[in-house]
Amino acid sequence: MKTHLGRRPFSAMELHTLYNGYIYSDFKVAREQAKHWHFWLPLIAYYTGAYSDEIGCLTLDDLEIKNDILCFNFHTHGKIKARLVPVHKALIDAGLNEFISFVKAQNHHRLMFDLPAKSGRYSEKVRIWFTGEGERAGYLQKCAIPNVDQLGMKTAISSLRLNFEQQVRIYALQANSKEAFNYLLGFNEYTHSRFSDIALLNAVIQQVRVINPQLHWQRFTQRQSH
Task: Give tens-digit pLDDT for 130-154.
Answer: 999 888 889 999 999 988 888 888 9
Nearest to 171 by CA among 212, 208, 197: 208
Would you kindly state where each structural domain of the chain is located, as residue ranges? 2-211
Q: State pLDDT tens for residues 49-102.
A: 999 999 999 999 999 999 999 999 999 988 899 999 999 999 999 999 999 999
CA distance 192 to 81: 10
Whether 32 has a pLDDT exceeding 90, the answer reads: no
Burial class of residue 22 in the structure, from the number of CB atoms within 10 Å of its CB (0-12 exposed, 13-18 middle, 19+ buried): middle
Nearest to 73 by CA among 65, 63, 81: 63
pLDDT band at 174, cuts 50/70/90? very high
pLDDT at residue 3, rounded to an integer: 43
DSSP code at position 192: S
Q: CATH topology for 2-211?
A: hpI Integrase; Chain A (1.10.443)
The phi and psi torsions of 86 (rounded to 5 degrees) equal: -55, 145
pLDDT at residue 190, rounded to an integer: 96
pLDDT at residue 134, rounded to an integer: 85
Whether 2 has a pLDDT exceeding 80, the answer reads: no
Q: Which of 1-10, 15-24, 79-88, 171-180 has the lowest mean pLDDT?
A: 1-10
Q: Average the pLDDT over 29-34 and give the result.
A: 84
- Gyration radius of the chain's alpha carbons: 17
